């Protein structure tokens, strides 16, 4: 499962840009940051999660965490590679 603080619509577009993903994507958009707080990526100072992508496998094990500064853009290819590892 992939978890992001983006809206459901943004996640859908992101998955399409990757050519589709075979894993569910969850949005932590509302309630405000509840999941990101549990994963330790919520920034209390600015009141929002860091730009983060978290990949959790079917057993519930976190396999990948990608945290960036607000202006940084995650590397789609790197994330796609991480997702492919789960297919193995």
The model's pTM: 0.64
**Domains in the chain with CATH codes:** 2-74 (3.40.30.10)
Cα four-point dihedral sign 31, 37, 42, 47: positive
Q: What is the pLDDT of residues 50-64, one digit of tens each?
A: 888 888 888 989 999
Residue 4: name the closest of 17, 24, 60, 19 by CA.
Answer: 24
User: The tokens of 18 are what?
Assistant: 């990757």
pLDDT at 88 over 80: no
CA atoms within 13 A on the CB side of 72: 11
Mean pLDDT of all residues belonging to the chain: 86
User: Rounded to 5, what percent of the chain is helix, strand, coil?
Assistant: 30, 25, 45
């Amino acid at each position: 499962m992939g978890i992001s603080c983006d809206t459901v619509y943004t996640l859908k577009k992101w998955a399409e840009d990757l050519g589709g993903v075979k894993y569910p994507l969850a949005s932590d958009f509302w309630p405000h940051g509840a999941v990101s707080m549990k994963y330790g990526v919520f920034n209390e100072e600015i009141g929002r999660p860091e730009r983060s992508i978290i990949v959790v496998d079917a057993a519930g094990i976190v396999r990948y965490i990608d945290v960036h500064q607000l202006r940084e853009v995650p590397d789609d290819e790197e994330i796609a590679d991480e997702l492919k590892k789960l297919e193995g």
